[in-house]
Amino acid sequence: MEEDIICVKGISKEFKISKREAGMKNAIKSFFRRKYKIIKALDNINFNIKKGEIVGYIGPNGAGKSTTIKIMCGILLPTSGECTIDGYIPWKQRKEYVKNIGVVFGQRSGLWWDVPPIDSFDLLKDIYNIPQKEYEKKLEELTESLDLDEIKNIPTRQLSLGQRMRCEIAAALLHNPKILFLDEPTIGLDAVSKLSLRKCIKKINEDTNLTIILTTHDMQDIEALTDRIILIGKGKILYDGSLEKIKKKYKDKMKVNVKFEYTTDKIKLKDAKVLEQTEESASLILRHKDGNMADILDELTKQVKVTDLSIEEMSTDDVIAKLYKELKI
């Protein structure tokens, strides 16, 4: 059993936001006496992450994802709570601590815009004080796993988003961190780039036992990379566990479409509800999640002559959307 590399215990974060109503009068009033509203961005957040794990940190916009990430990176101080990452308290020993983490912000670049990535890498070598030999070795390794050979000498501004993102990841890993934070790494990428990026991330995780925390809105990222998700909404953790389990929960929403030979008889099934029926087709859903699909089909074929059948599974996006709705976040 691997040990926990990240322990987050009871982290809360409050922001003071000045409140102001519209209108000139209120603007003047608030200039002299400001009313503050306290907003709880994070409310008692707890989770542990093991070394080498990939965790998907998901939640709707404004749920507190980036606040959590910022606290874990040592950028923000929490109002209360503890957090130990690889033996460090992120916001206390910032300069020492950040040598252990790599961060990729999908929407912001860590590379210098007008020079080729290789120049940025070279500068990062000095910023992180990486010995020349180690740097060369790591660069070679990353060049191979992220396929940078053809792109590392082209000015960053001329790279496609997918190429740039691969360079961003390389830049975040040059100093050989133990933990990698990926904040929406696939945002705006085309399908092919997404697939290749996921493959690269998976490979790096397997090869180097790197711990990865991934925030994303793309459920396919999660499906491809990890099974564990931590779901946050309105500053609270609402779910921490496998994605499969959630999907199972909504199995009863599985829809079955059947086509059959002409009949006017109404279909009646024990374990499934008929949503609609015409003379040649029908669509049904399971009544409860432990309903057995085989039994239902058995029953169905006794009543009608099935010519075609398809099962519509809920996509992960649908599942998550449903979950958000159910949890009212």
Q: Does 278 bind other proteins (CB under 8 A)?
A: no
Question: Which ranges constitute the DSSP H helices of the chain?
Answer: 24-32, 65-73, 94-97, 117-127, 132-145, 161-173, 191-208, 219-225, 243-249, 293-303, 316-327
Q: Which positions from 148 through 167 interact with other proteins, judged by CB under 8 A?
A: 155
Q: Are 167 and 157 in contact (CB under 8 A)?
A: no
Q: Are 205 and 52 in contact (CB under 8 A)?
A: yes
Which of 49, 172 has the CB closer to other proteins? Answer: 172
Which of 67, 193 has the CB closer to other proteins? Answer: 67
Question: Which string of DSSP letters, residue by residue, matches 270-283?
Answer: SSEEEEEE-SSEEE
Least distance from C-beta 75 to other proteins, angstroms? Answer: 5
Q: Which positions from 197 through 256 interact with other proteins, judged by CB under 8 A?
A: none
50-58, 91-99, 135-143, 318-326 -> range binding other proteins (CB under 8 A): 91-99
Which of 157, 245 has the CB closer to other proteins? Answer: 157
Residue type at 224 in one-letter notation: A
Among 25, 33, 95, 266, binds other proteins (CB under 8 A): 95
Among residues 56, 38, 105, the alpha carbon closest in space to that of 232 is found at: 56
Among 10, 15, 161, 271, binds other proteins (CB under 8 A): 15
Which of 56, 74 has the CB closer to other proteins? Answer: 74
Please tell me the count of residues contacting other proteins according to CB under 8 A: 31
Among 25, 32, 61, 126, binds other proteins (CB under 8 A): 126
Among residues 7, 10, 89, 99, the alpha carbon closest in space to that of 51 is found at: 7
Q: Does 108 bind other proteins (CB under 8 A)?
A: yes
Sequence-distant (≥ 6) Cβ neighbours of residue 177 within 8 angstroms: 99, 100, 101, 102, 210
In three-state form (DSSP H/G/I as H, E/B as E, the rest C), the secondary structure along 187-226 is CCCCHHHHHHHHHHHHHHHHHHCCEEEEECCCHHHHHHHC
Among 52, 110, 238, 253, binds other proteins (CB under 8 A): 110
Q: Does 119 bind other proteins (CB under 8 A)?
A: yes
Among 7, 115, 195, 267, binds other proteins (CB under 8 A): 115
Reduced to 3 states, what is the DSSP secondary structure of residue 304? coil
Q: Does 128 bind other proteins (CB under 8 A)?
A: yes
Which residues sit at the interface with other proteins, rule CB under 8 A?
15-16, 67, 70, 73-77, 91, 94-96, 98-99, 101, 103, 105, 108, 110, 112-115, 119, 123, 126-129, 155
